[in-house]
Amino acid sequence: MSIIRANQLDAWEKRVDTGVHFMLGNYALVEGAISAGCNFFAGYPITPANEISERMSQRLPQVGGKFVQGEDELCSIFALAGASLAGAKVMTATASAGYNYMQEGLGYCYTIEAPVVVADVMRTRGDNFASYADVYQLRYGCSGDYEAIVVCPSSVQELYDYTIWAFNLAEKYRNPVIVMSEATISLMRERLEIPSADKIEIFNRKYTTAKPSEYLPFGAPENGCPDFAPLGKGYNTIYSLNPHNEKGGIDWDPDDFERLYKRVCGKIRENADEICRTEQYMMDDADYVIVTYGSEVRPSIDAAKLAREEGIKVGVVKLCNIWPVPETAIREVAGNVGKIFAVEMNIGRYCNEIARVAAGKCPVVPVTKNRGQIHTSAELLRVIREETK
Amino acid sequence: MAEELKINPLRKYLREDKLPHFFCAGCGCGQVLNYYLQALDELKMDPEQMLHMGGVGCTARIPIYIKTDMFHGVHGRTLAWATGVKMVRPDLPVVIFAGDGDLSSIGGNHWIHACRRNLDVTVVMVNNMNFAMTGGQVAPTTPEESKTMTTPYGSSEPRFDVCSLAVAAGATHVERWTTAHPVQCKKAMERALQHKGFSLIEIVSQCPTHYGRYALKTGDPVKTMEYIQSVTYLKEQGEKMTVQEKEGKLALGQFVCEDKPIYIGSNMEL
């Protein structure tokens, strides 16, 4: 079995700081990574993600891991690829502008199916205020075909929990996973409860049991991912960005190319229902629903409560991940309510995905704020009142 | 009478299914592969117990033909990969094959920082003085005034002396030879494979297809090699040469070989 518990990890006593804490969001994310078994981190300074590197540089040596401050983001992401293929659980953290630089390395990781976790503490262009302007960059930033997995914590507790989830997804699907955050929750301190290590489920990548002569480095079931082989043990694997068949290599063949990307994308697309998570609040009798993600979830829940005090039955659907799009959950909700409010902190982006999935079943009203701060519940209530007259 | 077919003893290291190789007739990359396999064989190092890397370019394809684990296909990022690998598997020997463009142009930042850290890897840089795979464009190593596909009136930029730069950046083992020095190349690679720390072996090589045809007006590999011989001199000979005599020429030999602490990443014992 590749599922274990955190108390089976090396140095787990130092990894899992069980108990109740009052902790900074960026620190909670680090603790989540360490609890998940992260043993390599490379990063380059950028605000508002710096506390992640700083705490990693302190924590990783305590648990036998390695921290590297790269000369740039490219070094960081490619060092992650190298360390991941060498067997480590790896992470980097950056913010929007730094995430740009990492596209090349992420593209490599998607192609050769290296599990890596990237925290993007998103910020406004050219300054450090809160924003979710890059939700499409997280999905479409790299060249070539791939499918992204992006999880969206909405609190300090979820920065811890979802980072563990991100590592498990990365290991299970051999795919990069992005933890999407922003300054509001990353630079906030609040209650964090770290469970005991035996309660934390950890997924570790699968290694082949085949002999080197029989091993197919990119052979996998339909919509599945291949088993790893250790480096330097005679498995002679070519991990190339170039198109390759099941044996690996760099030789062009249109059939191999088509088959490779059908699987690399299919392993995420066709397992979307297994990957996606949503949570529902006040949905039993809701006439209207707010569909939102990340730090906008909390003012949305408050606004729904305030609306209910005025007799407007509003519910909230929280998207725990935005990529792959939780289509099944959004479609179901769209068939049951009169209107969807798509609340987000940008000029209006993910509302397009929600509208696509709702597909005319109900109107989708974008509720956007692009001012470097999250919505207040009062602002959202005003829109709800206006739109439900 | 049928003559017995002799098999090259180094052939056991090659991925037979990748042959024939893709290098042009007269290219120096095949020679470099030959010298490297001789060095491995001499040291009894098994490439299957090692990791090789190539970024993008003609040189980056050299290890494709070796039976080994290999990372390939991203331009200039080999030393970044190696930085991650060495933190996790310090026991695993890592050898990188990089062209002059791969290492000193797009990969320049990673390269100088890997030198500074004294990352424990071997880099074999084949300097064919241009971007060859893409069709013969100017590189940071192209001699001044050379005509290439992107310098049709001659290059107005001075070139890098890659070895001097590596020494200045902190590399602990640096040598330069040419493809016309088979014994020296093999010996230099043996020293590099045994060196603990950052080794750079630069091999000035002929690209008859592009640099030869565009800059030297010859597609003849021998004439291209003769040109390389005319613009290089042994470091020891250089001591008796004037500054004017050395201008536009590259020194050959060993520039540094010293023991210094290697990079091990974060460490609580400092």
For residues B129 and B114, give the distance between their C-alpha atoms in angstroms, rounded to a whole number: 22
- Determine which of B83, B110, B263 to mutate to test the interface with A (most A C-beta atoms within 10 Å): B83
Q: Which among A232, A236, A242 is the nearest to B92, CB-wise?
A: A232
In angstroms, what separates the C-alpha of B14 from chain A's closest C-alpha? 11
Mean per-residue pLDDT, A58-85: 97
Question: Are B84 and A79 within 8 A, CB to CB?
Answer: yes
Asked if the C-beta of A257 comes within 8 angstroms of chain B's C-beta atoms, the answer is: no
Domains of chain B: 26-257 (3.40.50.970)
48-67 of A, contacting B, C-beta below 8 A: 57, 60-62, 66-67
ipTM of this model?
Answer: 0.96
Closest by Cβ to B82, choosing from A74, A77, A82: A82
Selected for mutation to probe chain B from A10, A30, A57, A66 (highest B CB count within 10 Å) is A66
Q: Do B69 and A72 touch (CB under 8 A)?
A: no
What distance in Å separates the CA atoms of residue A330 and residue A328, rounded to the nearest whole number? Answer: 6
Instruction: Encode chain A in three state secondary structure.
Output: CCEEEHHHCCCHHHHCCCEEEEEEHHHHHHHHHHHHCCCEEEECCCCCCHHHHHHHHHHHHHCCCEEEECCCHHHHHHHHHHHHHCCCCEEEEECHHHHHHCHHHHHHHHHHCCCCEEEEEECCCCCCCCCCCCHHHHHHCCCCCCCCEEECCCCHHHHHHHHHHHHHHHHHHCCCEEEEEEHHHHCCEEEEEECCHHHCEEECCCECCCCHHHCCCCCCCCCCCCCECCCCCCCCCEEECCCCCCCCCCCCCHHHHHHHHHHHHHHHHCCHHHHCCEEEECCCCCCEEEEEEHHHHHHHHHHHHHHHHCCCCEEEEEECEEECCCHHHHHHHHCCCCEEEEEECCCCCCHHHHHHHHCCCCCEEEEECCCCCCCCHHHHHHHHHHHCC
> Which of B81, B88, B109 lies at the smallest CB-CB distance from A40?
B88
pLDDT band for position A98 (50/70/90)?
A: very high
pLDDT computed for residue B2 by the predictor: 66
Per-residue pLDDT of A180-190, as tens digits, reads: 999 999 999 99
Residues of B in contact with A114 (CB under 8 A): none
Backbone Cα Rg of chain B: 18
Distance from CA of A107 to the nearest CA of B (A): 10
Count CB atoms within 10 A of the CB of residue B99. 33
Chain B residues touching residue A67 (CB < 8 angstroms): 265-266
Tell if the CB–CB gap between A67 and B266 is shorter than 8 Å.
yes
Chain B residues with a Cβ under 8 Å from any Cβ in chain A: 15, 18, 48-51, 61, 64, 67-74, 77, 80-85, 87-89, 92, 109-110, 113, 265-268
DSSP 8-state symbol, B20: S
C-alpha closest to that of A105 among B74, B85, B98: B74
CATH class of A279-387: alpha beta
Q: For B105-115, write each residue's pLDDT tens digit.
A: 999 999 999 99
The pLDDT score that the predictor gives to residue A160 is 98
Q: Report d(CA B89, CA A257) in Å as an integer.
A: 31
- Arithmetic mean of pLDDT, A78-95: 98
Is there a shared CATH topology between the A10-199 domain and the A279-387 domain? yes
- Residue A70 with chain B: CB contacts under 8 Å: 80, 83
Domain ranges of chain A: 10-199, 279-387
* Residue B184 structure tokens: 């020296």
| Interface with chain A: mutation pick from B21, B46, B58, B88, highest number of A CBs within 10 Å | B88
Helix or strand (DSSP H, E) at B32 = helix B29-43
Is A119:A91 a contact under the CB 8 Å cutoff?
yes
Does A1 score more than 60 pLDDT? Answer: no
Per-residue burial over B54-85, b if 16 or more Cβ lie within 10 Å, else e, is bbbbbbbbbbbbbbbbbbbbbbbbbbbbbbbb
Residues of A whose CB is below 8 A from B84: 40, 42, 68, 78-84, 86, 88, 90
Residue of A54, A67, A68 to mutate for B, most B C-beta atoms under 10 A: A68
Q: How far is it, in rounded angstroms, from Cα A70 to Cα A53?
A: 11
Rounded to a whole number, what is the distance in Å from the CA of A239 to chain B's nearest CA? 5
Residue of A nearest to B109 (CA): A71
Predicted pLDDT of residue A188 = 97
Contact B205, B128 (CB under 8 A): yes
Q: Which residues of B135-148 are buried (b: 16+ CB within 10 A; e: fewer)?
A: ebbbbbbbbeebbb
**Cα–Cα distance between B255 and B252 in angstroms, integer?**
9
From residue A60, alpha-carbon distances to A15, A180, A181, A218, A301 in Å are 9, 22, 21, 31, 36
State which amino acid sits at residue B120: D
**Number of cross-chain residue pairs from A and B with Cβ atoms under 8 Å apart:** 138
Q: What is the DSSP code (8-state) at residue B16?
A: G
Residues belonging to chain B: 270
pLDDT for residue B5: 87
**Residue in chain B nearest A68 by alpha carbon:** B265
Kindly state the average pLDDT of the residues A253-267: 97
Cβ of A87 within 8 Å of Cβ of B89? The answer is yes
Tell me the chain B residues in contact with residue A81 when contact means C-beta distances shorter than 8 Å. Answer: 71, 81, 84
Mean pLDDT of A112-136: 97
Contact assessment for residue A236 and residue B69, using Cβ atoms and an 8 Å cutoff: yes
d(CA B182, CA B205): 12
Q: pLDDT of chain B along its 270 residues, tens only?
A: 567 889 999 999 999 999 999 999 999 999 999 999 999 999 999 999 999 999 999 999 999 999 999 999 999 999 999 999 999 999 999 999 999 999 999 999 999 999 999 999 999 999 999 999 999 999 999 999 999 999 999 999 999 999 999 999 999 999 999 999 999 999 999 999 999 999 999 999 999 999 999 999 999 999 999 999 999 999 999 999 999 999 999 999 999 999 999 999 988 877
Stretch A151-177: mean pLDDT, rounded?
Answer: 98
Chain A CB contacts of B113 below 8 Å: 71, 75
**A34 at the B interface (CB within 8 A)?**
no
Of A60, A79, A108, the CB nearest to B266: A60
Q: Which of B49, B88, B267 faces A61 most closely, judged by CB atoms? A: B267
Taking only residues 100 to 129 of chain A, the set having a beta carbon closer than 8 angstroms to any beta carbon of chain B reads: 104-105, 108
Closest Cβ–Cβ partner in A68, A70, A232 for B49: A232
Contacts of residue B49 in chain A, CB cutoff 8 Å?
232-234
Percent above pLDDT 70 for chain A = 100
Per-residue pLDDT at A251 = 86
CATH number, domain A10-199: 3.40.50.970
Q: Chain B within 8 Å of A68 (Cβ-Cβ)?
A: yes
Round to whole Å and give the CA distance between B51 and B83.
Answer: 13
Of A71, A236, A250, the CB nearest to B69: A236
How far is it, in rounded angstroms, from Cα B109 to Cα A204? 34
Pairing of strands A364-368, A201-203: unpaired
- Split at pLDDT 50, 70, 90, the class of A2 is confident
What residues contact A105, with CB distance under 8 A and at least 6 apart? A74, A76, A77, A78, A80, A81, B74, B77, B80
Contact residues on chain A for B51, CB-CB shorter than 8 A: 231-232
Closest CB to A81: pick one of B69, B81, B109: B81
